[in-house]
Each structure stands twice: as structure tokens, then as C-alpha cells.
Amino acid sequence: GSTSGGSTASSVTNRNIPSGYYSTAVGKCGQALLTALYNKITSHTAVSYANLWTAFKDTDTKSNGKIWDVYSTKEFTYSTNQCGSYSKIGDCYNREHSFPKSWFKDATPMYTDLFHIYPTDGFVNNQRANYPFGECSSGTYVASSGTVKALGKLGKSTYSGYTGTVWEPDDEFKGDFARSYFYMVTAYNNKVSGWSSDMLAGNAYPAFSSWAQSLLLKWNALDPVSQKEVDRNEAVYAKQKNRNPFIDHPELADYIWGSLKTTNWSETAAAARAISSPA
């Protein structure tokens, strides 16, 4: 989530959370907190798969007008560089399910939920495939092309508790993806027990396998919410009429899965904590 140069949580502006949006979650913790958030955000307007392309103009455009690609350093031009075929990095961008669609059997409405779908370099996306996210100290990057480099690598997991093949995103977006994953198991908490992945536990709570839960909480803490995520949350909210609670209140993850899961959450205590946390 942090922009280059790093940023503190307190420097993020325009968190336009509608008054009372999270009132039903106050005073809850653990699974009860997860359920309260599920009830709030599960119902939403699903965009069509074709309309994801046009949605990106509002959700994933940088200030310079270029598409914000989270898998490579390429400055893609909206529409013009839409995939299409690709043979190397930088050829085109596509609609990446950061939470792989095969995990939920390509089912709707998950298939078109913008909170986990990002424009990404097609060639790098092909390397990522549907491998779990993870950490791999000796991973392999796809070959660069000119100045265009991959923002992520594939390799054997070096994170405690898992030894399979994983794809490790760039540090700048680890928190973004963690918060997308927290959103997915929350918004679809009634379905998640039937999904299949080494990152998932096959239940509604905690929903994540132990190594994945630990990894995502780590990423959520290390990479604080950036202005990019705040702006994207608003843009998706305008289209889907629901929000990602973990962008509005990243500490919610700690109250559901982490060290605070037996402590009742309150919006005020949470806000004070978020502002004082280091970058």
C-alpha cells in the first residue's frame, strides 16, 4: 500500500466513510465481528465481466492518466494496451483475479468483484497463474523488456508453514492484496467453506489456513493503507455500493484473526491506533 518513499497511516486523506456504516460491527470481535461485516458488505451491485475494462478507468488510473499495474512497472495506456495476446512483459494488461477465480470455481458474483480484480501485465499474470501468494526468497522474475520490470516473482515458499510454489508480489502491494483477501473471505463468508486453495481452511472461520492467516496479517501490518487504496475503495464503492472494511479500518483484521480477536472493536479506538502506527 505505501507509495515510493513510504508514507505513514496518518498521511492518508479522504477516507469518506459514510456515517454509521460500521455501527453494527462495534463492540464485536473474532467471528462475531466477521459476521457483522459480512452482513454489511455481502449485498452489492455486481458489474459485468466486460465492464471491468471500463471500470479500470475510474478505479486504477494514476494521476498521469496511465493504468496502475500492480504486477509490472509498465505505464499502460487505458484501452489501447488492453489484452489481447502477449509474448513478453509490457505487451498488454488484463483483468487479474488476485484471489484466483479457480479457487471459487469461476462462480459469480466473486468473478467480477472489483475489490480483488486489478489490471495487471498479462505476461506476468500468466506466470502468477493461480498459485497462492507467499514469500519465496529465491524466486524467479519473468525477463525484463527494456526498462519494464516485473513486480513479483515465482518460487518455492520460504514462509514458515508452507513449502509449495508461491508467487510473491512486490512489497509495495503486499498490504493491498492482504486487504483484498480479508475482504473476499468476509464478503463471501457464506460460500468460503466450499472454496479450494492451500491458503484456505475449508471453513467459515478463520477461513484461512494458519500459514496464510499469519502471512496476510504480517503484510497488512508491514504495508499500511496507501492513498491509492483509499481512492480505489471510493471508486469501487461508487460502482458496487459496498466497501472494503479493511481499507477503511485495517486494524479490523487484528480484531478478527490476530492478537486482538478477543477484544471488542470500536471505531474510535481503532482510528487512534491507525494514526499512531509507524509506516
pLDDT by residue (tens digit) across 191-217? Answer: 999 999 999 999 999 999 999 999 999
Asked if 228 contacts 234 with a C-beta cutoff of 8 angstroms, the reply is no
Spell out the residues 6+ positions from residue 178 whose beta carbon is closer than 8 angstroms to its own.
215, 216, 217, 219, 220, 223, 246, 253
Q: What is the mean pLDDT of residues 262-277?
A: 69
CA distance 78 to 150: 19
Q: Which residues pair with 153 in a beta bridge?
A: 168
Tens digits of per-residue pLDDT, 82-108?
999 999 999 999 999 999 999 999 999
Query: What per-residue confidence (pLDDT) applies to 275?
Result: 44
Question: pTM of the entire structure?
Answer: 0.93
Average the pLDDT over 61-66 and give the result: 95
DSSP string, 161-191: T--SEEEEE-HHHHHHHHHHHHHHHHHTTTT
What is residue 269's predicted lDDT score, i.e. its pLDDT? 63
Q: Are 112 and 52 in contact (CB under 8 A)?
A: yes
pLDDT at 270 over 80: no
Give 19's contacts (C-beta < 8 A, 6+ positions apart). none
Band (278; pLDDT cuts 50, 70, 90): very low
Residue range 229-259, pLDDT digits in tens: 999 999 999 999 999 999 999 999 999 999 9
Q: Is the dihedral of CA 117, 122, 124, 129 positive or negative?
A: positive
Task: Report d(CA 266, CA 170) in Å as an integer.
Answer: 32
Cα distance between residue 50 and residue 36, in whole Å: 31
Question: What's the mean pLDDT in 62-77?
Answer: 96
Separation CA 1–CA 173 (nearest Å):
5
**Lookup: cell for 42:** 455481502
Q: How far apart are CA 36 and CA 152, in angstroms?
A: 34
Q: What mean pLDDT is predicted for residues 21-29?
A: 97
Taking all residues of the chain, what is their mean pLDDT, rounded to a whole number?
Answer: 93
Q: Does 178 score more than 80 pLDDT? A: yes
pLDDT tens-digit readout, 3-21: 443 434 445 666 789 999 9
Res 6: pLDDT: 40
- The rounded distance, in Å, linking the Cα atoms of 206 and 252 is 14
pLDDT at 15: 78
Q: How confident is the model at residue 268 (pLDDT cuts 50, 70, 90)?
A: confident
Can you read off the three cell numbers belonging to residue 198? 492451500
Find the farthest-apart pair of alpha carbons in the chain and give their distance in angstroms, rounded: 53
pLDDT-derived band of residue 1, with 50, 70 and 90 as boundaries? confident
Question: Using CA atoms, how far apart are residues 272 and 126, in angstroms rounded to an integer?
Answer: 41
Q: Which residue's entry shows cell 497511516? A: 9
Structural element, H or E, at residue 233: helix 227-240
